[in-house]
Structure 1
């Protein structure tokens, strides 16, 4: 990656709920440039980690957002309420079992819509490119299905789909508003996806430590941070139970009528290749669709040794 200076800013915009603000991270080469729809991207995170955690953790000197910015894109990443720098609902400060699962997909789609409307309005655009991974793939895909006229191209990394097997993120039992996520346990799960002989070197040196710090930075509970842990809402897990493992699609991929690319890692145990294939086959209305399978990669491939295969493909697809 070249030594190009990257402009970075983080700001708050109002959600559609009074008192709720959404954190948006922006990166580009020059904030004063006028970027076209082809060069504008809005991203949304998955069920557990914020956009800053997933998309702006530097790996060997540059994050996913850095690579896109260096390629000439105006890149935005939104945190759904309850994640990252967005408003933290009061339920996160109360006992988990005192409230229903926090952060349902319907709310996330509304928050993403607020972010998209903001970018389109302030940049004077009619369309933009959209990207999401895992649960964020559901959010981005639902937005594209409902707002196709505003979406130029859609990028998805391991989007959720129907499953007749347990989903690893759901450990079972009663669901309260939130759960505790431990970064050391997260690393063990991450590495367990790969064959034992291939685990060394999968995560570049320093990448996990940077990712952990980025994931923990917004946790307000100091004792949790000291345990390398943070709170994450259980709404996405409730939706897994209500939709994905219940055989009830949350939306129909056939309603997506924009060009799309699906990226997937061969060692992904969170969204298996069978699920990704079935989703891809259901997206029958897209005028141009591509599948990119990354060898020796897991669900977290954007932070792994083979990440550039996915990043380069996404850059070319959006361009």
Structure 2
């Protein structure tokens, strides 16, 4: 384990008032070894279903992805979007069942939250820009932000990115939020492993992961089985992208980009990588890495060291 300091930075929210809309309180996790250079911040942008504490900061075998990046000299930050982890829930997430309405936490809303986080990190560290590592749905948010605020992004890692497809006929109706159980999460984690192949999920650490995942929702234990309230906006963004409407234009990103995916990743296959690489026409460099025997959740799998190494190597050039 590295000699790192973990702390929480809270960004205050505000209630809806007159013409002003509700703004959520956001929580940023920061892990920095005492020897790290403050002007080299890396911000992690999580995916559609679980927050930073159970992704980049979660220790598998006593070592996290954040620890790996700390060891390379980076300070690591993680943003929990509204409705996830330590950050404030949407008011619509208060009832026991989802009310009528549209999915919460869609990309335009999430980009505003991401910009608040980046500007807070820049002010805190004195850095001119941040390097961003984004996973799954988070790549949609990070890609949109990198195009809108190019002066704030140095380099961009897209891990298991969502690309535009023409696979769905249209958008189904979705509630503002849904419940997710540990069983549903685990089933999703292992479904892409081909029949006959050994399990790649870090199974020994999964019970601790599950406990931490449920602890992120204070109401999880009030239901049987325990479950976590989860905004549906990310799912809506992914479905929209697979209906031909990706929420950002990859050509608008002027930063160097690394694309990392697992060979068994059904959400990001070879055709998705090829499309995205061709669409990133404004990026001065586009690098791709495919990790063998890995799925969409490779940061929780045996192949995670390859993900760590590829990310570190790319970010060191920033």
TM over 0.5: yes
Checking the alignment, whether the CA contact within 8 Å between 1:155 and 1:314 is kept in structure 2 is yes
Partner residue, 1:60: 61
Identify the range of structure 1 (129-138 vs 141-150) with the bigger mean alpha-carbon deviation: 141-150
Q: CA deviation at 1:118?
A: 0.3
Checking the alignment, whether the CA contact within 8 Å between 1:6 and 1:29 is kept in structure 2 is yes
**For 1:240 and 1:34, how far apart are their aligned partners in 2?**
36
Alpha-carbon spacing, 1:225–1:212, altered in 2? closer, same or farther (3 Å): farther
**For 1:217 and 1:118, how far apart are their aligned partners in 2?**
26
Q: CA deviation at 1:220?
A: 2.1
5 Å-filtered alignment, 1:228-239, equals 228-239=226-237
Aligned pairs, how many? 309
5 Å-filtered alignment, 1:123-134, equals 123-134=125-136
**2:34 equivalent to 1:30:** yes
Partner residue, 1:315: 312
Q: CA deviation at 1:269?
A: 1.3
**For 2:226 and 2:198, how far apart are their aligned partners in 1?**
22
Alpha-carbon spacing, 1:237–1:9, altered in 2? closer, same or farther (3 Å): same
**For 1:151 and 1:289, how far apart are their aligned partners in 2?**
15
Match of 2:216 among 215, 218, 230: 218
Task: Give RMSD over aligned pairs.
Answer: 2.2
Checking the alignment, whether the CA contact within 8 Å between 1:56 and 1:65 is kept in structure 2 is yes
Match of 1:98 among 89, 94, 100: 100
Tell me the secondary structure at the aligned position of residue 55 of structure 1. coil
Structure 1: 4+ residue segments shifted above 6 A: none
Checking the alignment, whether the CA contact within 8 Å between 1:161 and 1:279 is kept in structure 2 is yes
Q: CA deviation at 1:53?
A: 1.5
5 Å-filtered alignment, 1:268-307, equals 268-307=265-304
Tell me the secondary structure at the aligned position of residue 246 of structure 1. coil
Q: CA deviation at 1:219?
A: 0.9
5 Å-filtered alignment, 1:1-319, equals 3-14=1-12, 20-30=24-34, 34-36=37-39, 39-94=40-95, 95-165=97-167, 174-200=173-199, 202-223=200-221, 227-241=225-239, 243-319=240-316
- Structure 1 residues without counterparts, runs of 5 or longer: none
Identify the range of structure 1 (72-81 vs 88-97) with the bigger mean alpha-carbon deviation: 88-97
